[in-house]
Amino acid sequence: MTATMRTSPLAVAVAGRKPELREVHGMPVPARFPGERDTWKATIGICDVSALVRAGLKGPGAEAWLAARNVPVPAAANSWTHAGGGLVARLARTEFLIEDGCDDVAAARLRAELQAGEPGVYPVIRQDCALALAGAAVNELLVQTCNADFASQSAADSIVTLTQMVGVSVTVLRDDRGTVPCYRVWCDGTMGPYFWETLIGIAEELGGGPVGIASLFADTAT
Amino acid sequence: MKLLRCPVNGVRPVSEFAYGGEIRSMPADTCSDIEWAHYVFNRSGVPGVKVEWWYHIASGTWFHAERDTVTDRVLRTWLPGDLPPAADGKAA
Amino acid sequence: MTFSTQRPVTAGAPDIGASTTPAPPGRLPVIAGEWIDRTRRLAFTFEGKAFSGFDGDTPSSALWAAGVRILGRSFKYHRPRGLLSMANHDINALMQAGPRLNLRADVEPLEAALNLTAVNTHGGVDVDRARLLGWFGGLLPVGFYYKAFHKPKALFPFWERLFRRITGLGRVEFDAPHVRTPKRYDFADLLVVGAGPAGLMAALTAARAGAKVVLVDENARIGGSLGYQRGGNDDTLARLRALESQLAELPNVSVRTSTLAAGWYADHWVPLVDAKRMTKLRTRAVLVAGGAYEQPAVFRNNDLPGVMLASAAQRLIYRYGVKPMDNAVVLTANADGYVAALDLLAQGIGVPAIVDLRPEGDASDLPTRARQLGIQVLEGHCVFEAEGGNRLAAVVVCPTDADGRPQTSAPQRIACDGLLMSVGWAPAAPLLYQAGTRMGFDTTVQQFVPRELPAGMFAAGRVNGVFALEAKLLDGERAGAEAARFLGFAATSRITDRPTETTSPSHPWPIVEHASGKNFIDFDEDLQLRDFYNAAQEGFDNIELMKRYTTVGMGASQGKHSNMNAIRILARIRGRTPGDIGTTTARPFFHPVPMSHLAGRGFSPHRETPLHSRHEALRAVWMQAGIWLRPEYYAAPDKTRIELVREEAAAVRKAVGLIDVGTLGKMELFGPDAGEFLERVYTARFANLKVGMTRYAVMLDEAGVVIDDGVVARLAPEHFYFTTTTTGAATVYRELQRLNAMWGLRIGIVNATGAFAAMNLAGPGSRAVLAGLTALDLADAAFPYLAVRIGEVAGVTCRLMRVGFVGELGYEIHVPADQAARVWDAIMAADAGVRPFGVEAQRLLRLEKGHIIVGQDTDGLTQPDQAGLTWAVKTDKPFFVGKRSVEIVRKGAVRQRLVGFDLTVAPGGPVPKECHLVIRDGNIAGRVTSIAWSDALQRHIGLAFVEPDLAVDATPFFIRADGGLMVQAKVAPTPFYDPAGARQKLA
């Protein structure tokens, strides 16, 4: 990762709440919001995890390219797997999203290698607004914002869902934090501020709100 | 039709899709100007089973759907280049 | 079982024991299973008078208990109206509570401090002055508004105002508070509509088989007729309690009361409407067990307060503990009427007579039991008319002949304050109809029943023509098992076919003619029997025509209590059966749904570029560009918009400016066939584009119409990066994917629109500013005009393109979104002279260069030759999208051309605007697409489509400006500014 300071698509959207910021992979993100308590676990907590480093690629050769680099490749379309502290998601059939955990560097390495160019392997620049929607009541947020049936999925299904929430195209997968249900959601960064404000507004009506990355990811780099 | 089966992403509400028109083959270069104009401007409104382009927006997937425009039921869907599956007659 | 309701009630809650306080007048002693909580009093007002009821009451039940008998006034004649169905199958008691309109007082929960008024009255519900209209009823024949008041035309507005005043239902309050009504989605295997005996059994059966079941009922509690058709004992209540406890053991059933399944949409989408919101339920199957609406008998003054459906009286008793009347005659044509009489007797209500329309009477032992209890049972009799002023005082009963006609020679007058009507039922089948069920008229039950159900649709109970309690339970089990098997679960049932009834619960002709009329068919619309004969006589003798002419079923209760009788009448008029006549089309919604529910939460997505916060800080004035927000210009104290736009433009011309162009579509194209792909989708040549260079690109559709433009850069032999218009990005990306799905070229397209930020640093000073931030060699030889380079700017790897859209030396810098702010900040900090400029200044600057904006200077018919883009179209290529059309169009005459023009405005004279028309000899000869004042040129300049013979340099033409004033312009060559392009190519 370059030393360049990165900016989250939600930097301005969260600033008004005066969170305590922490730099993750060169990007300051909220580590904790003022007055934040563990109540979100029983309701809904929304966390900006845009700082996690991602690599994207697609093309007929993408699967073999990843396998050659010992990246675990989910076999089925729209499925995903953990990889180190991060994850590898197969989007539709021949596109992949690799996201590092807070301390990993795999995606960063793959991204650099992708620049070399290889037949049938095309790099996809990832500049997502990435969120974690967590908490026991998160399904109520989902059914008010999305027409896909997440309640019938379990974390063990390892399903990736490409759908729309509040009018925004999103990639969604379920990755619980311990016993707390948690969905990971990625959308276009330029949609991020609208997406965040809309979800936070509904979450707050339902008794939830924003949470910092330190609450969800104990392994957050400091 | 309120639901549509994307061959990759499964059954989704039709609001997740964009319609791409009936699949029609472009006439050869040797066609007359009249034939070309017919291809560009005219669409058949005759009700019946048609093969259409549909696009799943969130995943960027184009696919073919065989739809009966009389009943507005989709008989089957498949990816371009794949062979169409057996029609099950059910709504996708 | 999960249980949701809008009211804090629990299914199977223990009934309240002996109350210490005696029942208030109008209330019965505590009834087992009643819905009211006698410990919680609620005070409210109706028509300005204070009342109180109990928690669990509805306004109607509380008012009836208090002795109020006039709950509303009828729509046309303003007749006094009391209770009819007590089930929202009529709108006699339609009320308003402040901003809450259309409050259905029969069913909506009573709340503390409600201030209710009856709608559609003049001077209050008791003395409604408009009741006088009733005396002139003869002047208001059916369809009168199609005939009357149209002549003389000048008076029509007067009549319109008058009728709007006297006929409206409720009054809109414009300061109504905003109510949040978020929609939600839900998912199930099976939706069961109606939680009566059939629905409960169906839900139990399907859920036991493993299906995820949603059971909805529009009532506040489940049970349906088990709760109120008791026959004077509590056996059915015990059955209900047993079913409830079985349901409670099943975690896969969600019970939703006070919830309406409001319609059926394709693929089993059903909106579930409750007091707070609409839930869009996606289910795999729907089982309709919605029961039947009890139907009124038709006789003179059948709308007098005190005349009500038998089920209404039973609901009053068993749900609300309200005494419906003191003495009631029961008019019946089925066993249900006898059961209702037993219910009345059990509560100490007098039943002087049961009037049975059927000459043979009831086949069961019920008539005998009734007689033993001292009730006079009159078989083969009818109620000829009801008497009373504002409430029922007596009924006139007489025998009928073989055809059911009243024999008025020996009328019997029976004093009573109540009349129960139990003459038949109509199926609550709208959802079945909407789903495409073929219904047929079954003469054994005198009812439309499902004959052929579409896949995934099921029906049980009364809607299926099954009325006996045991049969309904069996039918529910049968349908529940069928639904479960359809869903792939194993399930069996004791019966496999619909049980058949031996006697009809509905009378084929519960209608009595009367010379003086006022025998109402449709209580919403005040339609009388003779209106139907008149309509038929005038030729409206098809059910759909009759509905529209008479407005039967078009009122707020949507025919629930009137359609069946209308069909019977039309059948008799035409000498056919109801089955021949058929029903009107049932459309969603089954019941009116508040607009706020339909609106839900408003989602209006917008996009912000990664530099949004920088523009905010610089006081950007925002404009919408498609889904994006863009700075139109940057505000400054004491300066006008036009001054600021000109200053921003001047800064670019004279020094250096910086604009955010991140809204442009940005695509990456990889692969061995990438060059070939671009050859096919754009009009120019790209296979020969050198690595490190860019080229302007125009995209056509198959009709040869310009649909998009942009710049294509070649970063590597198999890697292109290109831009599209801001509004075209999504559709262009989509279409490119579709084209390659057809062509199968070896390429990969990535839509990087949101992933890259982009800014254009433009102006004679741009190179100097950039030089301080990058190690790239910016010398013209190393980085010439139209070249693209990858290099670091302020430590961030960027893609830089030397472009000339605004006509000055300039660099379009594309940078990954997360580092865009850093680059912008570095540029702004590098030189205090860098002036941010907005979209409006850019539009002026590009106009000075004569560059078109696709979509503004072109329209849905513009061919490239018309827009001066011939140079960018290479028809010597073997193929590109739209090529054949361009070639064909070139054989004919061009209809219009886009030209530059300038004009001199007289001091104080009008300045033409975009879209003003070019006029020649009084005819339209074109239109202005762009126009602006150019400071650099000191004159107005613009682009316009004109007829081809005008498209010659220096040709004068006229534009019709605001106020019809003609302004002379003349064709001028473009670019207006720096025609040789020396400035953008600055070495």
Closest by Cβ to C817, choosing from A143, A144, A189: A189
pLDDT band at C15, cuts 50/70/90? very low
Predicted pLDDT at C124: 85
Put simply, the answer to whether C748 touches A58 (Cβ < 8 Å) is yes
Q: Does residue C794 register a pLDDT over 60?
A: yes
Q: Does residue C401 register a pLDDT over 60?
A: yes
The predicted-structure confidence for C197-250, as pLDDT tens digits, reads as follows 999 999 999 999 999 999 999 999 999 999 999 998 999 999 999 999 999 999
The predicted-structure confidence for C585-600, as pLDDT tens digits, reads as follows 888 998 888 888 998 8
Predicted pLDDT at B91: 41
* Dihedral sign from CA coordinates of C612, C613, C616, C620: negative
The predicted-structure confidence for C514-544, as pLDDT tens digits, reads as follows 999 999 999 999 999 999 999 999 999 899 9
The Cα–Cα gap between C428 and C441 comes to: 14
Residues of A within 8 A of B56 (CB-CB) are: 162
Q: Which residues, 6+ apart, have CB-to-CB distance to C261 below 8 Å?
A: C191, C193, C216, C270, C271, C272, C286, C290, C431, C590
Q: Which residues, 6+ apart, have CB-to-CB distance to B15 below 8 Å?
A: A147, A164
Predicted pLDDT at C179: 78
Return the residue of A nearest to B8 by Cα. A92
pLDDT cut 90: percent of chain B above it: 80
State chain C's mean pLDDT as an integer: 93
Residues β-bridged to residue C260: C273
Comparing CA positions, the residue from A185, A193, A141 lying closest to residue A162 is A185
pLDDT cut 70: percent of chain C above it: 96
Q: Is C181 on the interface with A (CB under 8 A)?
A: no
Which residue ranges of chain A lie beneath pLDDT 70? 1-4, 218-222
Predicted pLDDT at C654: 96
Q: At what angle do helices B33-41 and C883-890 cross, to 10 degrees?
A: 120
Neighbours of chain C (3+ CB pairs under 8 A): A, B
Backbone angles phi, psi at C810, to 5 degrees: -160, 155
Token readout for C2 is 């999960």
The predicted-structure confidence for C99-109, as pLDDT tens digits, reads as follows 888 899 999 99
Residues of C within 8 A of A11 (CB-CB) are: 613
The Cα–Cα gap between C517 and C461 comes to: 36
The predicted-structure confidence for C167-205, as pLDDT tens digits, reads as follows 667 888 888 887 778 899 999 999 999 999 999 999 999
The predicted-structure confidence for C551-593, as pLDDT tens digits, reads as follows 999 888 999 999 999 999 999 999 999 999 999 888 899 888 8
Q: Which residues, 6+ apart, have CB-to-CB distance to C400 below 8 Å?
A: C357, C359, C380, C381, C382, C406, C407
Predicted pLDDT at C19: 43
Closest by Cβ to A127, choosing from C280, C604, C817: C817
Token readout for C454 is 């579409």
Put simply, the answer to whether C816 touches A146 (Cβ < 8 Å) is no
Bigger pLDDT: C559 vs C15 = C559
Neighbours of chain A (3+ CB pairs under 8 A): B, C
Q: Does residue C134 register a pLDDT over 90?
A: no
Q: Does residue C335 register a pLDDT over 70?
A: yes
Predicted pLDDT at C116: 96
Residue C663, CA distances (Å) to A205, B23, C681 in order? 33, 32, 22
Q: In one letter, which amino acid is C291?
A: G
Predicted pLDDT at C733: 97
* Spatial contact of C526 and C134, defined as CB atoms under 8 Å apart: no
Residues of C within 8 A of A146 (CB-CB) are: 185
Q: How many CB pairs under 8 A join A and B?
A: 32
Among B59, B62, B78, B79, the residue to mutate for chain A (most A Cβ within 10 A)? B59
Provide the 10 A C-beta neighbour count for residue C690. 10
Q: What is the DSSP letter of C463?
A: G
* Residue ranges with strand state E in chain A: 20-24, 27-32, 45-48, 54-58, 79-83, 86-91, 95-99, 122-124, 128-134, 160-165, 168-174, 182-188, 209-210
Dump the DSSP string for C605-663: --B--TTHHHHHHTTEEEEEETTEEEEEEE--TT--HHHHHHHHHHHHHHSEEEEE-TT
The predicted-structure confidence for B26-73, as pLDDT tens digits, reads as follows 999 899 999 999 999 999 999 999 999 999 999 999 999 999 999 999
* Spatial contact of C19 and C308, defined as CB atoms under 8 Å apart: no
Predicted pLDDT at C848: 96
Predicted pLDDT at C784: 96
Token readout for C392 is 């029922």
Residue showing tokens 């003609």? C966
Beta sheet of C37-46, edge-to-edge order: C49-55, C37-46, C115-118, C94-97, C100-104
Q: In one letter, which amino acid is C89?
A: H
* Spatial contact of C11 and C33, defined as CB atoms under 8 Å apart: no
Q: Which H or E run includes C666? A: strand C665-670
Q: At what angle do helices C197-209 and C469-486 cross, to 10 degrees?
A: 30
Residue showing tokens 């925002």? C622
Dump the DSSP string for C520-577: EEETTTTEEHHHHHHHHHTT--SHHHHHHHH-TT-STTTTTTTHHHHHHHHHHHHT--
Q: In one letter, which amino acid is A21?
A: L
Put simply, the answer to whether C734 touches B33 (Cβ < 8 Å) is no
Q: Is B89 on the interface with C (CB under 8 A)?
A: no
Q: Does residue C666 register a pLDDT over 80?
A: yes
In order of start, what are the domains of chain B with their CATH numbers? 1-25+47-81 (3.30.2270.10)
Return the residue of C nearest to B61 by Cα. C737
Residue B10, CA distances (Å) to B6, B17, C259, C386, C927 in order? 5, 12, 30, 63, 49
Q: Is B62 on the interface with C (CB under 8 A)?
A: yes
Put simply, the answer to whether B58 touches A164 (Cβ < 8 Å) is yes
Q: Is C756 on the interface with A (CB under 8 A)?
A: yes
Q: Domain coordinates of chain A in residue numbers?
A: 11-51+127-212, 54-124
Residue showing tokens 């009009």? C683
C275 min Cα distance to partner chain B (Å): 26
Q: Is B80 on the interface with C (CB under 8 A)?
A: yes
Q: At what angle do helices C641-654 and C839-848 cross, to 10 degrees?
A: 60
The predicted-structure confidence for C918-943, as pLDDT tens digits, reads as follows 999 999 999 999 999 999 999 999 99
Q: Enter the ipTM.
A: 0.96
Bigger pLDDT: C591 vs C863 = C863
Q: In one letter, which amino acid is C984?
A: Q
The Cα–Cα gap between C713 and C728 comes to: 18
pLDDT cut 90: percent of chain C above it: 84
Chain-centre distance of CA A94, in angstroms? 20
Residues of A within 8 A of C822 (CB-CB) are: 4-5, 7
pLDDT band at C18, cuts 50/70/90? very low
pLDDT band at B89, cuts 50/70/90? very low
Provide the 10 A C-beta neighbour count for residue C688. 10
The Cα–Cα gap between C472 and C460 comes to: 7
Backbone angles phi, psi at C917, to 5 degrees: -95, 145
The radius of gyration of chain C from alpha carbons, rounded to an integer in Å, stands at: 39
Predicted pLDDT at A101: 86
Put simply, the answer to whether C752 touches A12 (Cβ < 8 Å) is no
Three-state DSSP class for A130? Answer: strand
* Dihedral sign from CA coordinates of C630, C635, C640, C646: negative
Q: Does residue C804 register a pLDDT over 90?
A: no
pLDDT band at B90, cuts 50/70/90? very low
Does the domain at A11-51+127-212 match CATH 3.30.1360.120? Answer given as yes
Listed range (A1-15, A136-150, C404-418, C652-666) with the worst mean pLDDT: A1-15
- The pTM (predicted TM-score) of the whole model is 0.91
* Spatial contact of A220 and A213, defined as CB atoms under 8 Å apart: yes
Q: Is A194 on the interface with C (CB under 8 A)?
A: yes
* Residue ranges with strand state E in C23-156: 37-46, 49-55, 72-73, 80-81, 94-97, 100-104, 115-118
Residues β-bridged to residue C723: C666
The predicted-structure confidence for B4-26, as pLDDT tens digits, reads as follows 999 999 999 999 999 999 999 99
pLDDT band at C92, cuts 50/70/90? very high
Closest by Cβ to B1, choosing from C266, C702, C703: C266
Closest by Cβ to A189, choosing from C184, C610, C822: C610
Among C180, C183, C185, the residue to mutate for chain A (most A Cβ within 10 A)? C185
Return the residue of A nearest to C670 by Cα. A122
Residues of B within 8 A of C455 (CB-CB) are: 90
pLDDT band at C156, cuts 50/70/90? confident
Q: Is A27 on the interface with C (CB under 8 A)?
A: yes
The Cα–Cα gap between C3 and C10 comes to: 8
Dump the DSSP string for C912-974: --TTPEEEETTEEEEEEEEEEEETTTTEEEEEEEE-GGG-STT-EEEEE-GGG-EEEEEEE-S
309-368 in C: which are within 8 Å (CB) of A? none
